[in-house]
Amino acid sequence: MSQRNVIPFGPQHPVLPEPIHLDLVTEDETVVEAIPSIGFVHRGLEKLVEKKDYQDFVYVAERICGICSFMHGMTYCQAVEEVMGIAVPERALYLRTVWAELSRVHSHLMWLGLAADAFGFESLFMNCWKLREGILDIIEATTGGRVIFGSCKIGGVRRDIDGDTMKGIVEKLDRIAAEIRHTTDVFLNDYSVQHRLKEVGVMSGEEAYALGTVGPVLRASGVAMDARKIGYAAYRNLKFEPVVEKSGDCHARCRVRVREIFQSIDLIGQAARKMPEGEIAVKVTGAPSGEYFSRVEQPRGEVIYYVKANGTKNLQRFRVRTPTFANLPAMVRMLKGASIADVPNIILTVDPCISCIER
Residues lying near another protein in the complex (CB under 8 A): 35, 37-40, 42, 44, 46-47, 52, 56, 59-60, 63, 78, 82, 123-124, 127, 130, 133, 137, 140-145, 148, 150, 158-159, 182-183, 185-186, 188-192, 194, 209-212, 225, 227, 229-232, 292-295, 302, 304, 306, 308, 316-317, 319, 321, 325-326, 328-330
CB of 212 to another protein, least distance (A): 4
Of 214 and 275, nearer to another protein (C-beta) is 214
CB of 105 to another protein, least distance (A): 18
Of 110 and 124, nearer to another protein (C-beta) is 124
CB of 141 to another protein, least distance (A): 4
3 state DSSP class of 111: helix
Of 138 and 202, nearer to another protein (C-beta) is 138
CB of 95 to another protein, least distance (A): 14
Of 13 and 158, nearer to another protein (C-beta) is 158
Of 51 and 239, nearer to another protein (C-beta) is 51
Of 201 and 323, nearer to another protein (C-beta) is 323
Specify whether the CB–CB gap between 105 and 135 falls below 8 A: yes
Phi, psi for residue 122 in degrees, rounded to 5: -65, -40
Residue 1: exposure state from Cβ atoms within 10 A (0-12, 13-18, ≥19)? exposed
Other beta carbons within 10 Å of 89: 17
CB of 181 to another protein, least distance (A): 10
CB of 225 to another protein, least distance (A): 8
CB of 109 to another protein, least distance (A): 14
Handedness of CA 283, 289, 295, 299 (dihedral sign): positive
CA 259 to chain centre: 15
d(CA 72, CA 93): 15
Q: DSSP string of 222-268? A: T----GGGG--TTGGGS-------SS-SHHHHHHHHHHHHHHHHHHH
Phi, psi for residue 149 in degrees, rounded to 5: -75, -40
Facing residues of 223 across strands?
none
Specify whether the CB–CB gap between 278 and 44 falls below 8 A: no
Please name which of 358, 354, 307 lies closest in space to residue 50, comparing C-alpha atoms. Answer: 307
CB of 319 to another protein, least distance (A): 4
* CA dist list (Å): 247 to 215, 256, 330: 15, 11, 16
CB of 272 to another protein, least distance (A): 18
Of 260 and 302, nearer to another protein (C-beta) is 302
Specify whether the CB–CB gap between 116 and 128 falls below 8 A: yes
Of 189 and 285, nearer to another protein (C-beta) is 189
Of 15 and 306, nearer to another protein (C-beta) is 306
Other beta carbons within 10 Å of 35: 12
